[in-house]
Amino acid sequence: MFVTTRSIASTAKRAFSTSAVSNAAKVAVLGAAGGIGQSLSLLLKQNPNISDLALYDIVNTPGVAADISHINTNSKVTGYVPENNGLAKALEGSNVVVIPAGVPRKPGMTRDDLFNTNASIVQGLADACAQYCPTAHILIISNPVNSTVPIVAETFKARGVYDPKRLFGVTSLDVVRASRFVSEVKGGDPKDIHITVVGGHSGVTIVPLLSQSGKSFTQEELDALTHRIQFGGDEVVKAKDGKGSATLSMAFAGARFANSVLEATVGGKRGIVEPTFVESPVFADQGVEFFATNVELGANGVEKIHPLGKLSAYEEKLVEAALPELKKNIAKGKSFVASKQ
């Protein structure tokens, strides 16, 4: 039975004026000087659940950290670069690690085109996490998420510390977009529009379940909205014209997801549900080990993976199209790690 997700409004509110988490938390951002990293760090500095904000990048974090550290909230901000064992220091004691490190798309590129560069970056950072904060909750933003999440899993396995409950691919932006895009077509406040998005995080693997929204759509609306939700990232890539992909909306979505993880894990709050790409039984029997659905978060991370719920015939076809692509993306991530061992 499908369980309804909580509202975008309540999650957004949680990101900015949250109930205090009893044990303050250390959060590390890896790639903190980038487009997403800086905005995300700014939002996390406003989060009262965080006591220590560790900002790591290969360049420029001293400046970003000095700047953000002047904001008059309680958390302590520290910038780290690779010199002087910076990565280890950033990670030690972290409860949550958010990873937006890596190159973004340029016009005409798919997320998979980023694989060659980002796979190595993510693997290196994951290996450091496995050594210095093996029990932290790891939130992967770096693309291609469908492959980078399996890369992290395999890297943790190689160090003997993999816990599937603590690894998350961040797909929140797809849900944020879906709610906004549907509101533009159907009217209403996006905070009241709840769209479940499942699958993965690229093109046809992004599957919005519009039939579960409680709204009715013409076939033309369904086609247009589904396409816009699947390829919404391209609108930003095109508009930025070679200067990158979504950073501000991604930072918003990432900050919201990080806060939900903090509230559930450090704060002990129950019943928080977020969409996320995790190791999942939903299509494991078809060889698809990772899949995004709504996931209830708990003290140890993934508490309960929700099933898909009732699908329309249209959505069944979308899922059918997503599965082979996902399988390929996951296998690519896994074989990348295997080839390095």
What is residue 201's DSSP assignment?
S
Q: Which residues are annotated as a binding site for substrate?
A: 105, 111, 143, 177
What minimum distance in Å lies between the beta carbon of 30 and ligand NAI? 5
Q: Which of 137, 194, 201, 306 is catalytic?
A: 201
Give the burial string for 43-77 (b: 16+ CB within 10 Å, else e). Answer: bbbbbbbbbbbbbbbeebbeebbeebbeeeeebeb
Give CA–CA dist 30/82, Å, rounded.
Answer: 11
Q: Per DSSP, what are the bridge partners of residue 290?
A: 279
Candidate list 48, 62, 124, 164; residue touching ligand NAI; CB under 6 A: 124
Nearer to ligand NAI by Cβ, of 102 and 301: the residue is 102
Size of the site for ligand NAI (CB under 6 A): 34
What minimum distance in Å lies between the beta carbon of 328 and ligand NAI? 18
Q: Per DSSP, what are the bridge partners of residue 293?
A: 276
Residue 201 among the catalytic residues: yes
Q: Please, where are the H alpha helices in the chain?
A: 8-16, 35-45, 61-69, 86-91, 115-132, 145-158, 172-186, 219-240, 248-265, 313-340
What minimum distance in Å lies between the beta carbon of 326 and ligand NAI? 15
Candidate list 9, 42, 58, 311; residue touching ligand NAI; CB under 6 A: 58
Q: Is the dihedral of CA 242, 124, 112, 15 positive or negative?
A: negative
For 288, phi then psi, to 5°, come to -105, 100
Candidate list 28, 36, 197, 297; residue touching ligand NAI; CB under 6 A: 36
Q: Which range touches ligand NAI (CB under 6 A), out of 17-25, 31-39, 149-157, 315-323?
A: 31-39
Candidate list 104, 150, 199, 208; residue touching ligand NAI; CB under 6 A: 104
Residues involved in catalysis: 201
Residues at the interface with ligand NAI (CB under 6 A): 30-31, 33-37, 56-59, 100-105, 114, 118, 121, 124-125, 141-143, 145, 170, 173, 201, 244-247, 250
